[in-house]
Every structure is written in C-alpha cells, then in structure tokens.
Structure 1
C-alpha cells in the first residue's frame, strides 16, 4: 500500500495543478486515474465526488469574494441537478445488489461523458464564437424559457455527475455559455463552480451511503491536490491555451475511447 499511498498523493497533486491552471478536468482526470490504480468504478466515482465538493468549496470562496457568481443561475441549475442526481442514485441503488452491473453501467457512462468532455474542451472556442455571434438572434432566449432550459441543463448535468462524477466542469461551462452568451467568462466559471458544490456533495454523500467511498483514499488525494491547485492557480495563463486544450482533449478522448470500446 506504500506505493499506493504516495501514488494517490501525487495523483492529487497533478490533478490539482491542472485544475488550478485550466479550471478544467477535476473529475475527468481524477476518476480515470483512480480506475488506473485499480479502484473499482463505483468507489472511484463516489470518492471523486466528495473530493470535488471539498476542493471546489475553496474555489467558491475565492469567486464569491470577487463577486464572480450569478446566484440566480446557480439556483436554477441546482433546482434541476440535485433532484436528478438523487433519482440517478436511486437507480444505481436498485441495481446495487449486482455490483458487476453497477460497475458496467458506470464504466460505459464514464467513457461517453469523457468523449463528450474531450470534444467540449477541443471545440470550446468555436462553440463560444457561435454563441456570441448569435447572441442577439431569435435563438437567444429570455425569461421563462431561459429559466426552464437552465433547469433542464441542471437535470442532464445532475444525472451525468451522479453516474460518472464528470460533466459539471467542461460540459457545464459550455452549456452555460450557450445559454448565457453575454455572461463574462469569470462569472461563468464562478457560477459553474458554485453549482458544482451542492451537486457533488449530494451525489458524493449518496454514493457514500451505498458504500462507494474510500475515506483514506480521499485523504491522500486532498493532501496532494490542495497545494497542486494553489500552484496551478498561480501559473494560470503562463502556458498558452492553444497548447493546453488539445493535450487535455487528446488525453480525455483516449481514456473515454478505451472505457467505451
């Protein structure tokens, strides 16, 4: 276990560093790393969810201080995502007696969400350019329909996150950008992180109640990731986006492809 312990601390450090630097990739990197270490899929997802809730809470404090959170949008997203996460957990609980089935469902879902995440990261610029170009068109929504779509986005993210621990970050940010093209990027990221905390906390505690949780592992990951996030945040913007994004995309795409096929 000695190597395992050091390995998990290093994994936390690396993932924390990348998250701090890019704001992307918490779950999408951590969960596959845990699978690679031989942790079973359900435990990897459960542990990663609480890991995300704890690490992102720190992010919320910083964003709140800088007034980068749109609480109204966070509220509408949470209205959809938390109930959806609870229903997804009930579904997992219903097949819980068959551990192999649970792990197979999680593994396949994980692969698909990773492939989507890789595409979202790779084509983020194009998606954002499209959203801004058409921001004034009839496609741009307002009032009730916008709130309804925000809740619906929350439902989709909630199910994905409860199943795979992935999706809130990259996919959530892209979805928000398409819905709210006039929202400043830093507010977009702050709002997304604020939404991720209650979602990952509820989903993580749900998994923990089903026994999909390794508390020692969580401790090691946190020991590594907190300094990692701190270092990464300070280097943010030093490495050009044009280098970081494709690398991250290729890595996630490869992992996703392996899990699905």
Structure 2
C-alpha cells in the first residue's frame, strides 16, 4: 500500500470509529467497505475489520474509565450475556450466505432510527427499570440475540445494544453508549475476532497497524465527545447512523 492509500485508510478508520464511539456503534459502515474498496476479499475484510474494531473499544474504554462514571456490574452483565451469541454468530457467518440477512438487518436498523426519531424524550434522562432478577434474566436473552448479530455481521449490533439498554433498563444515551462501547466494542468484538480466527478466517495483518491506530484514536475521541455533549446530540448522531447503516445493508451501497 502506498502512502496516499495508507493515509486514506487511516482517515477513514479514524472518522468511522469516532462516529461509532460517539453514537454507540456503526464503525463498520465506513471501515469495512473501505477495506473491500482497497482490494480485500469480503471474508478477509470482515475478519480484519473485526480484529481492528477491538481497538475502538479499547480507546473508548480508556476515556470512559477515566471519567469514573462507568457501571462495572452492568458492564460485566452485558459482556457475559452476549458472549455465547457472539461465538455462535462468528462461526455461522463463515458458512451462511449473508445478503438476505444483511437486507433484513438493514430494515431493522432503519426501524431503530425511526423509533428513536419519533420518541423525543427517549434516552434523555435515566429512568431505572427492570433491573431486578427477572428483568436481568429476560434482558440477557435479548442481549444474547444481539450478540449473534455482532458475531456474524459487520455493522449495527452496537446500535441495537445502545437502544436496548435505553428501552429495557432505562439508561440515558450517555450511559448506554458508555456501556456499549466497552462491552461490545472491546469484549464482544474481541470474542468475535478470536472465534473467527479459530474457525479459519484469514486476516490481512499488514494493514492492521493503520486500522488499530485509527480505531484507538477514534474510540478515545468519540468517547470524549460523548461525555462532553448532550444526550440530545448523541441521540441525533445515533439516528443518523441508523439510517446510513440501514440503507447500506438494505441496498448494498
């Protein structure tokens, strides 16, 4: 890769991961298609993106942990609830044609954006609910299902987790994004990357240093913006990404 393409890859990764860290997911909207555009086959680009996306979670985690506001018990709960689903999804995607699944997921993600758009008060203030034993058990099933999406497809699972934490448990956008970026961005993506590698997926190692640098910096920068900005702005960024990612998955743009 020449210097110009390397710079383009870094800028694309930085931009994608900053938006994802601010909104609670969606780095694959830009980073994954960029790898294909630069010449990687689909399966190689997917595995390479999965590895690099772990750095997104790491960069965001550093900032959110330093803020001192992270709910560690809930973070552990989200990680544990989705891990099995991530492993199942990462193994399944290597053998299942993904076009129909991507189109269906695109419709669902657009639905998330429409729902958020027409709920003005959604995620603006915390309203704790379903945090008892029964609610946590039921919630773990939903998170496990989202974990399958995370392991198998390239973009959108973080957005599902963000909205799920808001609707099911009553977190505001800031809290939900922080939980999502550490649980999904770091641990779910790390588990999915390891599962794909163990299942025989090929990774293009020469580009990883550039991708990791963009992901780390973007994750930290997005988390910094998420902590400083209002829930309303984060909500608007979330909605914009759902429409963009949904259109990409639905129409294959």
Alignment of 1:143 onto 2:135: no
Output the CA distance in 2 between the equivalents of 1:243 and 1:132.
11
1:207 corresponds to: 196
The offset of 1:247, in angstroms, is: 4.6
Corresponding residue of 1:98: none
Q: Contact conserved, 2:46 with 2:154, CA < 8 A, in 1?
A: yes
- Map 1:1-261 → 2, pairs under 5 A: 1-2=1-2, 4-92=5-93, 95=95, 102=96, 104-105=97-98, 107-127=99-119, 129=121, 141-181=130-170, 183-196=171-184, 197-209=186-198, 210-229=200-219, 237=229, 244=237, 247-259=240-252
TM-score (norm 1): 0.76
The structure-2 alpha-carbon separation of the partners of 1:144 and 1:185, relative to structure 1 and needing over 3 Å to count, comes to same
Over the aligned positions, Cα root-mean-square deviation in angstroms equals: 3.4
CA-to-aligned-CA distance 1:33-91 (integer Å, 9 cap, x gap)? 33444433322222222222112112112212223322222233222311122223343
SS at 2:65 equivalent? helix
Point out where structure 1 has 5 or more consecutive residues left out of the alignment. Answer: 96-101
Deviations 1:191-223 (A, max 9, x none): 222211211101011212312322222222223
> Take 1:30 and 1:257, find their aligned partners in 2: how far apart are those partners?
17
Question: Residues 20 and 228 of structure 1 are in contact (CA less than 8 Å); yes or no, is this contact kept in structure 2?
Answer: yes
Q: Which moved more, 1:186-195 or 1:19-28?
A: 19-28
The verdict on how the C-alpha distance between 1:66 and 1:74 changes in structure 2, with shifts beyond 3 A counting, is same
Q: How many residues align?
A: 246
Q: Retained in 1: the 8 A contact 2:24–2:181?
A: no
SS in 1 for 2:121: helix
The 8 Å contact of residues 46 and 207 in structure 1, kept in 2 or not, is answered as: yes
Q: Which has the larger radius of gyration?
A: 1
1:235/1:142 CA distance change after superposition, 3 Å: closer
Distance 1:121 1:68, change over 3 A: farther
> What TM-score do you get using the length of structure 2 for normalisation?
0.79
